[in-house]
């Protein structure tokens, strides 16, 4: 091997990879080529099923048992790993490359202490036990774990997700790799934690000089982390270039579609519907003779159907595989929305507290939550996990009853606290759309049965009328009749979520709780679902309680937003008030943690520590231990008052709004 | 899971659509069946069990001799006679043809053991579902009872119950068939707690899934949720449990028969036959014991081969 300064950290050349299904090769990667220089960060984006994870795993030659490389080469630090035997491959993975997986909880062995697992990562490299122990402590310090000795003695389940991901990163860096592959490293984490992990990776990259291959479905993450990006579609890289060029001036219709389907630059449902990409990904392994995007492309022409598009070089390093890169700008702009505004008639008034009993201790999960909802309004609920968003949703729905003294008033009458005690009319008035349609739909029922049962149960219609109603629902949700006879497992994620929405709307509900309804979906599917929700709301005057950790989505869809922390409402206001001005310090930190898709650097406000256990909430203001603006001597002793900043905008903070405004505009 | 979307592109014709959805609905079951057929263990198991089931059904219509009479003892001056051209498996101590008795012996066992297993599965599933679904004090109470039962050695309880019922005056007039019914009840009772525990664990994993919450939100009754929502989703583990239980049940019934409290004379039951002839072993007269023992072994192994395959295919 010749060591030159130009040795690429990763060089994938015309990689073709297939999965063998019933003896037939089904191509998954169709000639993927890209390279990463030492110290460079490269991002792969694309929807699920496009081959980005397969590519990431292939970079270390991890493949499922039925995967075969049918062509091309993978060079890591100059070595061709496609030609290696078992021992060479082991040696290579030991010293040259590492991987960080999506779920740190499953990447670590739950039965072994962190120390054992981390020390092993060093003993494998030939270090003595004592040496390895010292290295492990150093590695934890390197990933900014403040108290390495304490963490070493813990089991994985005793650490938070963000902490675990740091440990996994520390392990991955043990061998001082030339290439670090990160596969959705922050997907399951809160935005605040995500921002910290990403900061850490950014720092480590400049510190170690390792090249990074980052896979993420969150385009903002890629934008903020990577120098260059490749956009993948159906096993091909359709566009590649500098991150700023690709995101600001996309030249492939697919990239344009992806970016347009995200709510950007303060877009709101009132202004425009989100752009969607019609159709769906080609079936894995199908024949794609010409342009892979031909069936979904808005600027398709005859030449696209007959010829493989050439690589169109746009500038150094920026290319697109499209016949008409010059026409990309002509792709229709956003469709103006025609939605009715929220009304001012109060539909639901809630005053809820909820205390769980856990092994003899009271755990207050909701503390005096006081909110109202008007007709046709969307109330966004945001906050880190553990802040009580889902508990509030379940209390509203009656899945678990609130504490004595809690009151839920629907259309001027009080609701029973438990679902079993509510009338059929009250049941049909409130429904939910869950995050994960896989578990939300009974896998052994057909779509028709699922919908029909809900219609009949909630409206009391007979079978014939229910059938008619199911047909109408399906049409509304753009489900074709053939989908009705399928089981959920035969539908794509987006279609499943449509079925779940159809079920929620079976009895013309007044209120629908949406619990992260799009976080399991790809961005183009998310756009379609969000548009659909907005349309349904406008037509039927349904109110939504919309829970999401994606502030971009909340900003797009919500009319009002409530920010929750440790079971308390810290701030409530209209979307414009929340995103436009004086904020509670917690809201301020949440907003600053969102990776910015537009590339403008945001000043991040770091929150110290993790969300405390609700079983033992901090004294005074529950947020004071993490608050960057806490006033010593006041915040830890006294509960803050709720201060009205302007009409409809309230903040629970000791700092007067005028002072907050001054502090926040100083940034 | 294999790729079910891998079907020809959708046509627009209504009949095509119908055909397609029908095919898709059957795909999962068909796929499982296809995987099963490819497993040699499954095939071997099915063939062996098939042979024994055939013997059990056909009974003395296909046995070379009458399994209950010693009319052929003239061929054999001093029974038991060793295997010969006339008696492939030899004869027992009163001159009955062992091969005929082994073939016939499958009948009672294959009636009693699987029936007991199915019964245990039904009662155990109901119990397990109630425990897993309601949790709380219902589960606590029933779990303690189940654990108490699990602590008892199966064979000891079997002997105790069956011996007591044999000696009791009330049951002394019991005919052979109702004796078998009694064995079914006893074995089913002994297996119920094990099934209940398995089903309970499975239900616990399902009951908090969103589809169950959704059913509650539209006001479904608990019974509906258990039988219509949850049950169809746990058939896999239940089928696996059934096949495993049948294997254990065969073994248990054979053991009880061997101990003299199970299937009774004059049935040519294998366990019974071993018990009756085991005194002959020290005299080097091995055949009256060996052939029934082999019969039990082949049946139990075959059932377990099937159980293993089904488990692998269901759990993938």
With CA atoms as reference, the chain A residue closest to B229 would be A442
Residues A225 and A287 in one domain: yes
Scanning chain B, the segments in alpha helix (DSSP H) are: 14-37, 40-58, 98-134, 136-151, 154-167, 176-207, 210-217, 222-224, 235-258, 270-277, 287-315
What would the two tokens of residue A112 be? 């072994």
Check CB contact under 8 Å for A439 and B217: no
**A352 has a pLDDT exceeding 90:** yes
**Nearest-CA distance from B233 to chain A in Å?**
6
Residue A400 at interface with chain B, using a CB cutoff of 8 Å: no
Please state the domain count of chain A: 3
Nearest-by-CA chain A residue for B233: A444
Residue B220: the pLDDT is 92
Does a structural domain hold residue A549? Answer: yes
Q: What is the CATH number of the domain that holds A26?
A: 3.40.50.300
Closest Cβ–Cβ partner in B211, B219, B233 for A457: B219
Give the residue on A whose Cα is nearest the Cα of B18: A482
Are the C-beta atoms of residues A50 and A281 closer than 8 Å to each other? yes
Residue A570 lies in a domain: no
Q: Quick one: pLDDT at residue B20?
A: 43
Domain assignment of residue A197, yes or no: yes
- Say whether both A480 and A595 belong to one domain: no
Residue closest to A153 by CA, chosen among A120, A117, A129, A128: A117
What pLDDT score was predicted for residue B26?
A: 58
Q: How far is B64 from chain A (nearest CA, A)?
A: 47
The C-alpha of A617 sits at a distance from chain B's nearest C-alpha, in angstroms, of 27
Task: Give the count of domains, chain B.
Answer: 1
Query: Is A331 inside any structural domain?
Result: yes
Residue that terminates a domain, selected from A510, A534, A564: A564
Q: What mean pLDDT is predicted for residues A481-499?
A: 88
Assess whether A371 and A327 both reside in one domain: no
Residue A541, strand partner residues: none
Residue-number span of the structural domain to which B101 is assigned: 38-66+93-315
The pairing of strands A543-547 and A361-374 is unpaired
Task: Tell me which chain B residue has its CA closest to the CA of residue A459.
Answer: B218
Same domain membership, residue A522 and residue A376 = yes
How does pLDDT run across A205-246, given as a tens digit for each residue?
888 889 999 998 888 889 989 999 999 998 899 999 999 999
* Residue of chain B with shortest Cα separation from A481: B17
Q: Give the residue from A131, A133, A163, A157 showing the smallest Cα distance to A145.
A: A163
* Residue A540 sits in the same domain as residue A597: no
A83 shares contact with chain B (CB less than 8 Å): no
Residue A4 pLDDT > 60: no
**Domain end residue (candidates: A311, A336, A361):** A336
Nearest C-alpha neighbor of A183 from the set A308, A71, A44: A44
- Rounded alpha-carbon distances, angstroms, from residue A561 to A348, A381, A405, A624, B97: 15, 6, 25, 22, 87
> Considering the domain boundaries, does residue B12 fall inside one?
no
In a domain, B17, yes or no: no
pLDDT tens sequence across A117-163? 999 999 988 889 999 999 999 999 888 888 888 889 999 988 888 88
Residue B79 in domain: no
Q: Min CA distance, A309 vs chain B (Å)?
A: 24
Please indicate, yes or no, whether residues A448 and A485 belong to a single structural domain of this protein.
yes
Whether A552 has a pLDDT exceeding 60, the answer reads yes
Given an 8 Å threshold on Cβ–Cβ distance, is A21 in contact with B20?
Answer: no
- Interchain contact, B211 vs A482, CB within 8 Å: no
Please, which residues bridge with residue A513 across strands? Answer: A432, A545
Pull the structure tokens for residue A491: 């539908």
Among residues B206, B219, B220, the alpha carbon closest in space to that of A430 is found at B219
* pLDDT greater than 80 at residue A265: no
Separation of alpha carbons B130 and B195, rounded Å: 13
Domain with A610, as residue range(s), is: 581-665
Subunit contact B214:A434, Cβ cutoff 8 A? yes
CA count, 13 A, side-chain hemisphere, B80: 23
Residues of chain B neighbouring A443 (CB-CB closer than 8 A): 233
Judge whether residue A196 has pLDDT over 90. Answer: no
CA distance B48 to chain A (A): 29
Q: What's the pLDDT score for residue B4?
A: 37
Inter-chain CB proximity B211 and A284 less than 8 Å: no
d(CA A182, CA A490): 30
Q: How confident is the model at residue A190 (pLDDT cuts 50, 70, 90)?
A: confident
pLDDT in tens, A503-513: 999 989 999 99
A455, pLDDT greater than 90: yes
* Average pLDDT of the residues in A352-373: 89
User: What are the φ/ψ torsions at residue A318 (nearest 5 degrees)?
Assistant: -110, 115
Is some CB atom of chain B closer than 8 A to the CB atom of A482? yes
Q: Nearest chain B Cα to A435, which residue? A: B210
A664 pLDDT above the threshold of 70 = yes
Q: B12 to chain A nearest CA, in Å?
A: 10
Integer Cα distance of A605 and A300 in angstroms: 45
| Cβ–Cβ contact A82 with B under 8 A | no
Q: Do B233 and A490 touch (CB under 8 A)?
A: no
B22, B209, B220 member nearest A439 (Cβ): B209
In angstroms, how far is CA A139 from the centroid of its own chain?
Answer: 28
Residue of A nearest to B205 (CA): A439
Is A482–B210 a contact, with Cβ atoms under 8 angstroms apart?
no
| Chain A residue with Cα closest to B207 | A439
Could B20 and A434 be called an inter-chain contact, meaning their C-beta atoms sit closer than 8 Å?
no
Of A21, A283, A457, the CB nearest to B220: A457
Contact B217 A445 (CB under 8 A): no
**pLDDT (tens digit, 9 = 90+) per residue, A267-317?**
888 888 888 888 777 877 777 778 888 888 888 888 888 888 888 888 888
Confidence (pLDDT) at A643: 92
Tell if the CB–CB gap between A441 and B211 is shorter than 8 Å: yes
Residue B216: list chain A partners with CB under 8 A: 399, 419-420
Distance of alpha carbon B264 from alpha carbon B275, whole angstroms: 11
Cβ-Cβ contacts under 8 Å, B32 against chain A? none
Chain B hits for A420, Cβ within 8 Å: 216
pLDDT at A2 over 60: no
A453 neighbourhood in chain B, CB within 8 Å: 218
Summary count for chain A: helices (H), strands (E): 24, 24
CB B187 within 8 A of CB B116: yes
Question: Cis peptide before B266, with omega less than 30 degrees from 0?
Answer: yes
Dihedral sign, CA of B128, B131, B134, B138? positive
Chain B contact for A454, CB < 8 A? yes
Tell me the mean pLDDT in the region A358-372: 88
Closest partner CB to B216 (pick from A419, A424, A485): A419
- Asked if B219 and A444 come within 8 Å (Cβ–Cβ), the reply is no
A316 and A351 assigned to the same domain: no
pLDDT above 70 covers what percent of chain A?
97
B21, B211, B235: best mutation site toward chain A, by most A Cβ within 10 Å? B211
Measured CA to CA in angstroms, residue B74 lies from A31, B70, B96, B211, B288 at distances of 83, 9, 11, 72, 18
- Residue B2: closest C-alpha in chain A: A21
Q: How many CB pairs under 8 A join A and B?
A: 82
- Indicate the residue of B6, B21, B215 with minimum beta-carbon distance to A482: B21
Pair (A322, A401) in one structural domain: no
Digit-by-digit pLDDT tens for chain B (316 residues) are 333 333 333 333 333 434 444 444 456 677 788 888 888 999 999 999 999 999 999 888 888 888 887 665 566 667 777 888 777 888 888 878 889 899 998 998 999 999 999 999 999 999 999 999 999 899 999 999 999 988 888 888 888 888 877 655 444 455 446 778 888 999 999 999 999 999 999 999 999 999 999 999 999 999 999 999 999 999 989 999 999 999 999 999 999 999 888 888 788 889 998 988 888 888 888 888 999 999 999 999 999 999 999 988 887 6
**Closest residue of A to B206, CA-based?**
A439
Give the whole-angstrom CA distance, residue B310 versus residue A657: 67
Question: Does the pLDDT value for residue A8 go beyond 80?
Answer: yes
Could you tell me if residue B246 is inside a domain? yes
Residue A230: DSSP 8-state: E
Are B210 and A442 a contacting pair at CB < 8 A?
no
User: For residues A366 and A352, is the Cβ–Cβ distance under 8 A?
Assistant: yes
CB atoms within 10 A of CB A462: 9
Q: How far is A288 from chain B (nearest CA, A)?
A: 14
The answer to whether the Cβ–Cβ distance between B217 and A482 falls below 8 Å is no
pLDDT digits (tens, 9 = 90+) for A394-423: 999 999 888 988 999 998 899 998 898 999
**Residues of chain B contacting A485 with CB distance shorter than 8 Å:** 18, 21-22, 25
Residues of A with Cβ-Cβ distance to B314 under 8 angstroms? none
- Does A623 lie in the same domain as A537? no
User: Could you tell me the pLDDT band of residue A448, with boundaries at 50, 70 and 90?
Assistant: very high
* Average pLDDT of chain A to the nearest whole number: 88
Candidate from B25, B211, B217 with C-beta closest to A419 = B217
Whole-angstrom distance, CA of residue A415 vs CA of residue A431 = 14
Find out whether A251 and A322 touch, Cβ atoms under 8 Å: yes
CATH classification at residue B249? 1.10.3720.10
Residues, chain B: 316
Residue range A75-84: mean pLDDT, rounded:
89
pLDDT higher than 80, residue A333? no
Q: Identify whether A128 is part of a domain.
A: no
Q: Residues near B11 by Cβ (< 8 Å), separated by ≥ 6?
A: B17, B20
Interface of B with A (CB under 8 A): 1-6, 10, 17-18, 20-22, 24-25, 28, 209-211, 213-220, 229, 232-233
Rounded to the nearest angstrom, the minimum Cα separation between B133 and chain A is: 15
Helix (H), strand (E) at residue A574: strand A568-574
pLDDT in tens, A511-528: 999 999 988 888 888 999
Out of A312, A336, A360, pick the residue that ends a domain.
A336
A131 in a structural domain:
no
Q: What is the pLDDT of residue A6?
A: 59
In a domain, B311, yes or no: yes
Kindly state whether residues A551 and A611 are assigned to the same domain.
no
**Element of type H or E holding A321:** strand A318-321
- Residue A657 placed within a domain: yes
């Amino acid at each position: 091997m010749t060591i030159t300064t130009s040795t690429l950290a990763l060089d994938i050349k015309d990689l073709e990879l297939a999965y063998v299904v019933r003896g037939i090769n089904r191509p998954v990667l169709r000639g993927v080529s890209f390279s990463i220089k030492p110290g460079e960060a490269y991002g792969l984006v694309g929807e699920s099923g496009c081959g980005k994870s397969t590519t990431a795993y292939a970079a270390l030659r991890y493949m499922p048992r039925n995967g075969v490389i049918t062509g091309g080469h993978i060079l890591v630090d100059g070595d061709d790993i496609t030609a290696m035997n078992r021992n060479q491959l082991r040696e290579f993975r030991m010293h040259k490359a590492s991987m960080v997986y999506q779920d740190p909880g499953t990447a670590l062995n739950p039965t072994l202490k962190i120390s054992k697992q981390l020390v092993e990562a060093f003993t494998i490299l030939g270090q003595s036990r004592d040496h390895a122990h010292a290295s492990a402590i150093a590695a934890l310090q390197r990933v900014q774990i403040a108290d390495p000795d304490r963490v070493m003695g813990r089991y994985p389940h005793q650490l938070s997700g963000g902490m675990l991901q740091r440990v996994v990163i520390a392990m991955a860096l043990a061998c001082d790799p030339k290439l670090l592959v990160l596969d959705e490293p922050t997907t399951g984490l809160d935005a605040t934690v995500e921002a910290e992990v990403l900061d850490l990776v950014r720092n480590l990259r400049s510190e170690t000089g390792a090249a990074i291959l980052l896979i993420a479905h969150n385009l903002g993450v890629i934008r903020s982390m990577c120098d260059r990006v490749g956009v993948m579609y159906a096993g091909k890289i359709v566009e590649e270039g500098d991150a700023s060029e690709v995101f600001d001036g996309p030249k492939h219709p697919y990239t344009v579609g992806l970016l347009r389907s995200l709510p950007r630059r303060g877009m709101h449902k009132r202004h425009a519907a989100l752009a969607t990409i019609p159709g769906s990904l080609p079936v894995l392994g199908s024949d794609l003779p010409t342009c892979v995007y031909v069936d979904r492309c808005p600027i398709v022409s005859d030449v696209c159907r007959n010829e493989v598009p050439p690589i169109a070089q746009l500038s150094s390093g920026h290319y697109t595989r499209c016949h008409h890169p010059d026409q990309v700008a002509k792709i229709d702009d956003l469709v103006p929305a025609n939605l009715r505004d929220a009304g001012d008639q109060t539909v639901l008034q809630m005053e809820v507290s909820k205390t769980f009993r856990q092994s003899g201790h009271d755990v207050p999960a909701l503390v005096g939550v006081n909110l109202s909802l008007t007709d046709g309004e969307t109330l966004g609920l945001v906050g880190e996990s553990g802040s009580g968003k889902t508990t509030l949703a379940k209390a509203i729905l009656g899945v678990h009853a609130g504490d004595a003294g809690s009151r839920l008033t629907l259309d001027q009458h009080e609701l029973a606290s438990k679902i079993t005690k509510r009338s059929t009319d009250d049941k049909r008035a409130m429904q939910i759309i869950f995050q994960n349609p896989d578990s939300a739909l009974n896998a052994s029922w057909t779509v028709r049965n699922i919908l029909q049962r809900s219609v009949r149960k909630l409206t009391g219609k007979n079978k014939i009328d229910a059938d008619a109603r199911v047909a109408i629902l399906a049409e509304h949700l753009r489900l074709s009749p053939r989908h009705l006879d399928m089981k959920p497992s035969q539908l794509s994620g987006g279609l499943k979520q449509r079925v779940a929405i159809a079920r929620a709307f079976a009895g013309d509900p007044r209120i629908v709780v949406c619990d992260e309804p799009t976080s399991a979906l790809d961005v183009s599917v998310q756009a379609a679902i969000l548009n659909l929700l907005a349309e349904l709301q406008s037509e039927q005057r349904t109110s939504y309680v919309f829970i999401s950790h994606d502030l971009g989505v909340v900003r797009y869809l919500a009319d009002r937003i409530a920010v929750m922390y440790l079971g308390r409402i810290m701030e409530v206001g209209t979307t414009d008030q929340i995103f436009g001005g004086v904020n509670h310090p917690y809201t301020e930190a949440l907003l600053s943690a969102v990776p910015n898709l537009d590339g403008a650097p945001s000043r991040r406000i770091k929150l110290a520590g993790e969300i405390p256990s609700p079983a033992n909430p901090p004294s005074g203001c529950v947020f004071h231990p993490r608050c960057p603006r806490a006033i010593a001597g006041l915040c830890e002793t006294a509960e803050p008052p709720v201060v009205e900043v302007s009409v409809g905008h309230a903040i629970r903070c000791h700092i007067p709004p005028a002072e907050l405004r001054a502090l926040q505009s100083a940034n | 899971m294999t790729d079910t979307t891998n079907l020809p592109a959708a046509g627009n014709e209504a009949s095509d659509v119908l055909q397609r959805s029908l095919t898709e609905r059957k795909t999962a079951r068909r796929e499982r069946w296809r995987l099963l057929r490819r497993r040699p263990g499954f095939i071997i198991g099915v063939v062996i069990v098939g042979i024994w089931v055939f013997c059990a059904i056909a009974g003395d219509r296909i046995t070379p001799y009458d399994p209950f009479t010693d009319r052929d003892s003239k061929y054999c001056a001093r029974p038991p006679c060793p295997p010969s051209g006339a008696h492939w498996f030899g004869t027992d101590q009163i001159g009955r043809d062992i091969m005929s008795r082994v073939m016939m012996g499958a009948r009672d066992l294959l009636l009693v053991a699987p029936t007991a297993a199915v019964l245990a599965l039904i009662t155990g599933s109901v119990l397990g579902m109630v425990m897993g679904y309601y949790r709380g004090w219902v589960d606590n109470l029933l779990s303690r009872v189940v654990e108490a039962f699990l602590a008892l050695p199966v064979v000891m309880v079997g002997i105790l119950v069956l011996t007591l019922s044999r000696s009791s005056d009330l049951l002394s007039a019991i005919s052979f068939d109702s004796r078998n019914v009694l064995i079914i009840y006893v074995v089913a009772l002994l297996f119920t707690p094990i099934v209940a525990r398995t089903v309970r664990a499975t239900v616990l994993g399902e009951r908090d899934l969103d589809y169950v919450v959704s059913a509650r939100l539209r006001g479904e009754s608990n019974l509906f949720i258990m039988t219509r929502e949850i049950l169809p989703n746990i058939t896999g583990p239940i089928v696996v449990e059934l096949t495993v239980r049948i294997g254990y049940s065969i073994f248990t019934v054979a053991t009880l028969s061997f101990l003299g409290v199970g299937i009774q004379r004059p049935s040519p039951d294998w366990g019974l036959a071993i018990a009756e002839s085991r005194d002959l072993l020290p005299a080097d007269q091995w055949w009256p014991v060996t052939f029934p023992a082999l019969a039990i072994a082949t049946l139990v192994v075959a059932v377990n081969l099937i159980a293993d395959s089904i488990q692998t295919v269901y759990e993938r």
